Chain A
Amino acid sequence: MYDEEELKPFECDGLSAYRKLPLAVALPESEDQIRAVLKICHEGRVPVVFRGAGTGLSGGALPYEHGLLLGLSKLKRILEIDPVARMARVQPGVRNAAISEAVAQHGLYYAPDPSSQIACSIGGNVAENSGGVHCLKYGLTVNNIMKVRFVTIDGELLEIGSEGLDAPGYDLLALITGSEGLLGVVTEITVKLLPSPVKARVVLAAFDDVGKAGQAVADIIAARIIPAGLEMMDKKATGAVEQFIGAGYPLDAEAILLCESDGSEEEVESEISRITEVLRATGATQIRVSRDEAERLKLWAGRKSAFPAVGRILPDYFCLDGTIPRKQLANVLKRIGQMQDTFNLQCANVFHAGDGNLHPLVMFDANDDDQLHRAEQYGAAILELCVEVGGTITGEHGVGIEKINQMCVQYRTPELTTFHSIKHAFDEHGLLNPGKAVPTLQRCAEFGAMHVHRGEEKFPELPRF
């Protein structure tokens, strides 16, 4: 496709603040077609951007104006389910949730469950190393896939991983997972399936202080419990959610925790009583345990609708994705709160508390250029704060185009050089997703970030522009 009208639906992904039209869009229907298209692009030195379901939040599938956008949406077949060996072989365009739906009859499921799971595709999950609310216990995409068929820019096909639990040579499966379409494209994925837990219950706990909620998270871990899910929301987020769907969250609480236990009847009963005990000791003002599946789903529905709920307060928001050491939680939330005045914008916080992954939602109106600008600055300041306290600029959404400058804050020249060397080993001419995920040293110099590492090094070797 190359008519402007046909290209329009591909101008952005889930990060709609950035839009561009590609030169052309190709929607191949087979691996052979993908290989042929990439060979042509390689010979003609045409940049290629891959796109799954287009739900990514960091602009990783933002088209390149002089390049091809290669969409994987037509490759959406589940090729094989092996319930005994507990694996499924699927094409990259298969929706994340469709895998669990297809294998449910065998008492199995695919564990990573990003909040966009009804729409996002498994190929995109591999490209981003997507997480979800259950990854403290069950891991990320990288921990739940076994093997991929992988096509490089010159059309070469590789099988990476195996049907066993490891593979010969270097761990290339880990290297390509989360590589954001910079190294190649997956054309087939073998995922690991887990037995569905017999039972799950969730505890809702309310706190009159964010610090106490953070302490409760640490105390649960200290009590040697690894909950299946452990989520936190601040007052602004619960307020937005209650107006939106009425999940039954207490509105006077400064923070709420949702803590889920899953497993056998015995495991869940024993864990829930221990969790409740810990929460009571930490000073929760209210504790509610789901009595049935309907109540459990209702409590989760609030958390899962936090993003759209916030979207109703102001037309636009940036969803950030920093991860921090959990002990920094109260400090970081306080400083994010203070920055609301600095940038004159509101921010609600939802948080995968179990693994320290923060999703501040900075609200603004994109029609107001000044607000957009302030929101970008606010977001950047939050990410830099995450790095300052020992964390990372992205836990699960990827760098894409959105956090490209903050990569200069998190990494120094030698690490960035290593990334470029790896890129070069796969894609000598830099044709795959150019300008995303890993900034050039030149860009970092222009951005002017001065990363002081262990208080000693700056960027002495870099030219300034």
Chain B
Amino acid sequence: MQHFQETIRSAAASQLPLRIRGSGSKDFYGARLEGDVLDTRSYRGIVEYEPTELVFTARAGTPLREVEAALTEKGQMLPFEPPYFGPDATFGGCIASGLSGPRRACLGATRDFVLGVRSLNTSGDDLQFGGQVMKNVAGYDVSRLLTGSFGTLGLIVEVSTKVLPIPDDEQTLRLEMNEKQAIETMNRYAGQPLPLSATCFVENSLYIRFSGAASAVSAARKQLGGETIDGKAFWQSVREQTHPFFSNSGTLWRLSMKSTTAPLMLGPTLIEWNGSLRWISVDADLENMQSAASKAGGYATLFRAQTRPKAIQYLSPTMLALHKRIKRALDPEGIFGPHRLHDEF
């Protein structure tokens, strides 16, 4: 901690940017990577974990696989199924990136499970927001603001998350259909009381995962029909983007939008989250992709590209102004990951 504080204070004094980094597994994401690397990996270890409290606390540098191993041992899990994108991904990076996996539409995102964050600000002050309890509405929700901020608002040093039991049973079905039918089917099932835990459409197949009590899972499977497959490998390949769909592209777009949006016909597409997340592999510019997404109540992100883009997301002028004010409020010296998320802050 002292080392972090000294590094931050000296960077602030000389106004030199810092790039907060765990293993670098999410380095591909963002507009620009600026500044000296502040490596979090030396600050590691599980701080507190009592399974009956459903609360898990660890230091930012703890490898994500150690976090998941500790939880698995007690029959619990991170409910948001975070992607690693690299074998040495850290817990801090997982929270700072805020990315969620296949279970997100059914159980919630990273931000939904973050209970508390301990962080360092530009002055090196040791801050604690939220806590280790399920409900806390004292003060603004800075823990969730830091989640997904990619290290641009402060250094996350310790995080508490809510965890959940691993479901007793999981089964995956594959149904053959086209994209339009798949979007309709996903939305229809999401509106029914089924033990749904993930959906994915790729290459004319709709994959549906059920999780829960064995009796409920098999009842749902019987109701839907289709072919039962070994789901584990499939969902892992979607979560980690190792599925062949992701290998054939230079540029990968992530479009988040209203789940019922009809096929966009912009390029090869993989759909998750009951229709509200569309991965599209196509060379296009942000303006066009944003325009397609915003017509559907959403927005586009340039997720992976061969060359670093100027911007990965579009913010309206009023939103951009507010973002700059928030960035200035939390990082007045502007040292934490400048321009990682946007050209202008």
Chain A residues at the B interface, C-beta cutoff of 8 Å: 82-87, 106-108, 128-129, 131, 135-136, 139-140, 142-143, 147, 156-159, 162-172, 174-175, 177-179, 183, 195-198, 218-219, 221-222, 224-226, 263-267, 269-271, 323-327, 352, 354-357, 390-399, 403, 407, 410-411, 414-415, 418-419, 421-422, 424-426, 437-438, 453
Contact = CB atoms under 8 A, between A and B. Distances in A.
Nearest to A182: B140
B329 A165 contact: no
B139 A325 contact: no
Interface stretch (B4-12, B173-181, B238-246, B292-300): B292-300
B103 to A, nearest CB: 12
B141 interface: yes
**Top 7 closest A-B pairs, CB basis?**
A163-B297, A164-B256, A224-B165, A174-B144, A355-B134, A395-B135, A421-B329
Interface string B205-232: 0000000111110011000000000000
A158 B301 CA distance: 20
Given A356-B133, A411-B139, A438-B139, 6 more contacts: A168-B299, A174-B147, A179-B140, A222-B51, A264-B216, A395-B134
Contacts of A421: 329-330
A163 B216 contact: no
B330 A323 contact: no
A202 B166 CA distance: 23
Name the residue among B149, B166, B168, B215 with the largest chain A CB count within 10 angstroms. B215
B137 interface: yes
Interface stretch (B25-33, B37-45, B62-70, B189-197): B189-197
Contacts of A393: 138
25 contacts: A86-B259, A136-B134, A164-B259, A165-B273, A171-B145, A195-B190, A195-B192, A196-B193, A221-B52, A224-B166, A263-B212, A264-B195, A265-B219, A271-B213, A325-B50, A327-B50, A356-B134, A392-B138, A394-B136, A394-B138, A414-B125, A422-B329, A424-B329, A426-B322, A438-B140
A178 B166 CA distance: 30
B233 interface: no
B157 interface: no
B54 A221 contact: yes
A270 B213 contact: yes
Interface string B115-134: 00000010101111101111
B21 interface: no
Contacts of B255: 164
A106 B191 CA distance: 9
A164 B133 CA distance: 28
